[in-house]
Amino acid sequence: MRSSMITNPAGLHDPVGFGYSHVADLGNLVFVAGQYASGPDGQVQIDGFEEQVGLAFENLGVALRSAGLGYADVFQLRTYVVDHSGEKLGVLGRVIAKYWPERPPVQTLLGVAALALPEMAFEVDAVAVRR
């Protein structure tokens, strides 16, 4: 795989020290690694679940735009929720409706015990298609 297909866009932390990259652009398909409420240093910036979900989806948008795409180009999401509950599902549903008000992408939600950093409450990865 050419290294130019794997990118780490400006506006997101440099993830190489964590062992991954943000975006794999394969032409028609673009894969975005798990996005979370990360700041410039890769550390979680905020505590509340709803706030973490919001910032994770903003970071997803940064990654998509770096490949010339937007939320409308996403066809699959995988979301990871620490200590999943009905209340958290409601929060996630409201945030997703903000970005996809009429027809959200397919999604797999996984309730997990923990994520990569102890402060992380939420993570989302995506696959988008270039039409």
* Residue 1 in this model has a pLDDT that exceeds 60: no
CATH label of the domain that carries residue 86: 3.30.1330.40
User: Among positive and negative, which fits the CA dihedral 39, 87, 75, 18?
Assistant: positive
User: Structural domain of residue 9, as residue ranges?
Assistant: 3-129
* Residue 97 in this model has a pLDDT that exceeds 80: yes
Task: Identify whether the C-beta of residue 39 lies closer than 8 Å to the C-beta of residue 92.
Answer: no
pLDDT tens for 6-18 read 999 999 999 999 9
Cα 114 from Cα 6, distance rounded (Å)? 27
**In the beta sheet, which residues pair with residue 77?**
107, 126
Instruction: Give which of 59, 68, 72, 70 is closest to 124, Cα–Cα.
Output: 59
Number of domains in the chain: 1
pTM of the model: 0.95
